[in-house]
Structure 1
């Protein structure tokens, strides 16, 4: 019956319509090509994703006009300079010195160390809407000995500091300092007149349709090859794929079940890589149903993760028994949670599930709206029903999701199906599980307060020796495997499809869209 259900889900996916909607885009510039794509956070995009302080995704696009001090390379193997020409970390790992590039803001003003100090102070203040406040808490001061030197001093070592700084886009003090901090998060500046230092300048936002940026001729890396980039929003993945095939766009994200349709298409290149995002069922710890570990364990035994991975993800995912799947962070001997519905039933009986909830429906909230995830949740629903748990999926857009899980009525969502970055730096998982990261400080939206998990994370974040750090993150894996703050499902591959007409185009399936060194100033398209 389970296999029949999965086959039916696949049939639903195959039957989706694939229409696209033509937009009235501005005329093409004569002095260079226009590159159009679904560059944001998947085919649907995230309308309103303009403020990098509040962004949790979409950096593939934001980094075309904003820039951080440091950035991951395209292979996600090392961190290198961006607005910092060079940087040094002291032996005690308490002092970070950045030599700044000679750069200008898009309005012609010079980028200086004062902007660095301003941006960090702003990002440390959660009243600004910053999602980085807790992660920057160990910064004690920012010194600016001259206009091209910024020195960050920490109160304690934080091995994840450089990774955090890759997500912190530098902001102009002269343009933002007069806006009250409390009004900054929703200020019109972000979607109307933002200025950065990147290779493209913000041009216009057509509400819920597209964002346009135009070439910055004064970019320190040289004037961009393309005259402009357009980031289009689509109602669903099928519409984005149809637009790609029709030549309306040159790039989009796709789900794994759409990849095969491009296998023999000479006009397109499929780009594949690990997402470095762990998908999980999150248990809202403010809801009494999930206090008993045996109930959380029952979820793990009841869901046949291997069947879903093979049937729906086409094998392009790896089951996660803790928050990591990378070998160096997964110790031997942790529980594998092999599919065992009878064990799940026994655990629920021991926990008194019939009295706790019985077959009452339980909403599982998600921001994933693709057909793939619709089918995944349908599979989970059927499997959990077999052991006596009745979940009801509710998919909403990302802004709605964020307003719910970060809001004050957080007891209203008992379960979520979500994903969180667990690489390329393993410390990224901290924001979703550490007690210190409960909103508004961070992204611990399940309000997890598990001492063993927090202690393991704190120890790993404070470890500065590389070899010892791997062992420390193995302890994080053990703690999450034993305590199950989440029912960890899998880490899936991620895919993009690009037109072969694109030249020098770099896209990496990085979590949150990066940022990573893609050099958009070099992108071009054959005419």
Structure 2
């Protein structure tokens, strides 16, 4: 009896502790309803796809409905529900046909022959034709050459920029379904440059109207009611509050399951996360790196994806220590001496993907496996073979003349993730005998927008003057692959090759990659580029940052967000009948 009494008291104690722990995230629990996912009785129920229901997603303030001018990422994603492009990116960052039935690239790589799908209609019932494609391209080309609209098009958030489309010489419409797009040179990103949204010519120009530069520019100045060819069509707009889309039952790829998508207008993504917590949204992009706190909530599903945000350590090749006889050995030792897995786990909470090259980890172009895994012994061996020894046993290596192996590290430390990463790199390199001197403010207690801007400008000034040895930074890489901006010697004066890297073989490979006439040739050349990056190490690649979307668990289906489209496969999403909320309100 005594044993049973002790056992009962122990179980009561455990239950009490559990209840206290459950109160930590009380607000979220009350709204979303937390359950123990490890409970064997809480198996995921399998639901049958059903038509109906609505979802509420966040969008920013709408300055224009023109998809060619949208600057905000949330609107870029939202517009993909309304508008479509000739091609778009798949999970491997390769291209998939959207409005295209078939295509062929000429042998010289300068012409693309395109046959359009025959079953595509605009949301107002008009037939989609080749004239719409030519019209859209001409609008972008004329706008990019006009002072008033050039900056607007340049800053719009989209994969293809006006500079990419400027390689198009002309578009010849053969008939309603066939067209030829002629480029000024063989251009390996020709298909990628055709990922912009197509707009309907008939919305702006009457049949038979004479076309002029003024006609095209008027498209960019005119506010419009969105008319696209996508899975959802515009229904109504409540200014500063919401935009409502309804299912396009005549969509050429089949009827989507979800009936309505409501875009709730919010000032930023931080507010969107708060709105998701309070049940006002069904979906949002995660904020920061600690989204695992939602994992224990049974009413929230997390879908992680790799972004284009690439973090790296760049070398200053003006410094003889970096570029001289021993420079390559030093760069390789640094690559082996940094514990990237530790940084990913401790700083980014596991939400980053390690790479050795600035190619997206899921890209069809990636061929290089990671070779610079953390290896202290290997790093020390490389340094010793290059002539650096710890002659005075103080832990820091010296060269033959007794000079200490010291290098400076520059970064923007107002970014707390970069600050923590930089500090860990300093400790890692100290382990292999390199003293790293921080060229940044090691405290972030009193940082605000003003001090952050001041620090950023100071850092840029040092980079331009070459006043650094190592720099920890990141690029948000374009979806159109081209590493010329970072590694081609012609970009040193332009500033994007700020590490002053010069390698004749790299220059030649980058030009060949740009002018490749086939996809297979492009892939092969990118394989050579990756090998050279690993061998010569202009950068020590760290990782690509991951992000995630948080989704109300009532939404089921093939949910596969990717950086280019978080609503990827939305036509295959559904809300089971018993979970549909037909009368959900948005304030």
**Which residues of structure 1 form unaligned runs of 5+?**
1-14, 20-30, 367-372
Q: 1:76 to 1:517 in 2, by over 3 A?
A: farther
Q: Distance in 2 between matches of 1:169 and 1:457?
A: 28
Q: What is the aligned partner in structure 1 of residue 301 from structure 2?
A: 269
State the secondary structure of the residue aligned to 1:459.
helix
- Are 2:240 and 1:212 aligned? no
Q: Distance in 2 between matches of 1:378 and 1:153?
A: 49
Larger Rg: 2
Deviation at 1:260, TM superposition (A): 2.8
Deviation at 1:432, TM superposition (A): 4.5
Deviation at 1:168, TM superposition (A): 1.3
Deviation at 1:147, TM superposition (A): 2.1
Q: 1:464 to 1:18 in 2, by over 3 A?
A: farther
Query: Which runs of structure 2 are paired with 1:449-488 in the superposition (5 Å)?
Result: 450=502, 452-463=505-516, 469-481=522-534, 486-488=539-541
2:175 to 139, 142, 146: 146
2:312 to 256, 259, 280: 280
Q: 1:322 to 1:446 in 2, by over 3 A?
A: same
Q: Distance in 1 between matches of 2:316 and 2:83?
A: 35
Deviation at 1:220, TM superposition (A): 3.3
Deviation at 1:444, TM superposition (A): 5.2
Q: What is the aligned partner in structure 2 of residue 200 from structure 1?
A: 233
Q: What is the aligned partner in structure 1 of residue 430 from structure 2?
A: none
Q: TM-score, normalised by structure 1?
A: 0.66
Q: What is the aligned partner in structure 2 of residue 11 from structure 1?
A: none
Asked if 1 retains the 8 angstrom alpha-carbon contact of 2:338 and 2:425, the reply is: yes
State the secondary structure of the residue aligned to 1:272.
strand
Deviation at 1:68, TM superposition (A): 0.3
Deviation at 1:142, TM superposition (A): 1.6
Q: What is the aligned partner in structure 1 of residue 580 from structure 2?
A: 526
Q: TM-score, normalised by structure 2?
A: 0.61
Deviation at 1:261, TM superposition (A): 2.4
Q: What is the aligned partner in structure 1 of residue 88 from structure 2?
A: 71
1:513 to 554, 561, 565: 565
Q: Distance in 2 between matches of 1:468 and 1:88?
A: 15
Q: 1:289 to 1:105 in 2, by over 3 A?
A: farther
Query: Which runs of structure 2 are paired with 1:237-316 in the superposition (5 Å)?
Result: 237=270, 239-254=271-286, 257-275=289-307, 277-280=309-312, 293=323, 297=331, 304-316=339-351
1:229 to 249, 254, 262: 262
Q: Distance in 2 between matches of 1:445 and 1:202?
A: 47
Deviation at 1:269, TM superposition (A): 2.0
Tell me how large the CA RMSD over aligned residues is. Answer: 5.5
The one-character-per-residue Cα deviations of 1:78-131 (angstroms, maximum 9, x if unpaired) are 643322244344566543322244444455554321221122234456334245
Asked if 1 retains the 8 angstrom alpha-carbon contact of 2:299 and 2:553, the reply is: yes
State the secondary structure of the residue aligned to 1:513.
coil
Q: Distance in 2 between matches of 1:181 and 1:283?
A: 49
Asked if 2 retains the 8 angstrom alpha-carbon contact of 1:57 and 1:513, the reply is: no
Asked if 2 retains the 8 angstrom alpha-carbon contact of 1:319 and 1:489, the reply is: yes
Q: 1:172 to 1:487 in 2, by over 3 A?
A: farther
**Which residues of structure 2 form unaligned runs of 5+?**
1-23, 29-50, 155-159, 206-210, 389-395, 428-434, 582-587
